[in-house]
Amino acid sequence: MTVDLPFDLGRAAREWSLFGVDLAVPDLPANPGALGFSDVWALSSTFSAPFGALRVWAISLWGKGLGGGIALLDSGEIGPNLSYRVWAFRLGGGLRLGSVGLGGQAKLLRPEEPKTSLGWSLDLGLFWMGPVWLGILGEALLSASPFEEAWPPDFSFAAALPWEGPNFSGILGAGVLDILGFPTWALSGEIDFGVLSLRGALTAMGLGVGGGVELPRFSLDWAFTLHPALPLSFRVSFVLRWP
């Protein structure tokens, strides 16, 4: 298990559908540098079953310069006296300076099984809202790993182009993730018809599809990941927004 995996698997369905390009989307919490662009509060509850091997429950809250979340990854019994159970916590803040956003977040990782330990890291994010949205995230710039493996620093970059149609809007984007570790790429997009949204991503690990139904105060989002060698993975999120 890589150190950042519980945080990655705890992402909400819309973030997961955009697969890293969410770093360059201002109304999502993946990049703490974008938190200063949020003018409403959002509370999301997510359940996922990645590739049939794990169960992940997550709750996230973000808006108006602040964001945080809790995720629980539980493998269940995968062998005689062998299971994985990990808690992941994150808390961040961001500041908007014109078209630029700067932010940081702290992560706390608490494995409970197969043994108890504790680790932490600090991230920095940069966001730019221009004709093209740009997001950069530096992860684990300072860290202490809870495992025998190190928690090394890494960087991810994403760009997204927002566009408007006569009766719909959308986002097209690309990202390069984990540049210093195991680099991967993603091409993703979203089309929003108002009540209904459709999303898709093409990545080095497979194909992702998803969508959502949005009403004035809440939305229901879902995502599926099709991997060439692993079982189908799904997640669903309920998001409440106010005021």
Closest CA to 203 of 221, 220, 189: 189
Closest CA to 34 of 15, 55, 56: 15
Kindly state the average pLDDT of the residues 29-49: 96
Is the predicted pLDDT of residue 69 greater than 60, yes or no?
yes
Decide: 95 and 66 in contact? Cβ < 8 Å: no
* pTM, 2 dp: 0.93
pLDDT tens per residue across span 177-212: 999 998 999 999 999 999 999 999 999 888 999 999
β-pairing verdict for 119-129 and 218-226: unpaired
Residue 67: other Cβ atoms inside 10 A: 26
d(Cα 162, Cα 133) in Å, to the nearest integer?
Answer: 8
Can you give the pLDDT at residue 9?
92
Kindly state the average pLDDT of the residues 55-59: 97
Phi first, then psi: give them for residue 39, nearest 5 degrees: -110, 5
Residue-averaged pLDDT of the chain: 94
Residue reference for tokens 């803040």: 93
pLDDT tens per residue across span 17-37: 999 999 999 999 999 999 999
β-pairing verdict for 196-203 and 233-242: unpaired
Confidence of residue 148 (pLDDT cuts 50, 70, 90): confident
Residue 216: other Cβ atoms inside 10 A: 6
d(Cα 13, Cα 49) in Å, to the nearest integer?
Answer: 12
Is the predicted pLDDT of residue 81 greater than 80, yes or no?
no
Q: Which of 24-38, 49-63, 165-179 has the lowest mean pLDDT?
A: 49-63
How big, in percent rounded to 5, are the helix, strand and coil portions of the chain? 10, 60, 30
Question: DSSP assignment, residue 79?
Answer: B
Can you give the pLDDT at residue 206?
86
Tell me the domains of the chain and their CATH numbers. 5-242 (2.40.160.40)
Q: Is residue 51 packed enough to be buried (19+ CB in 10 Å), middle (13-18) or exposed (0-12)? A: middle
Amino acid at site 209: V
Confidence of residue 83 (pLDDT cuts 50, 70, 90): confident
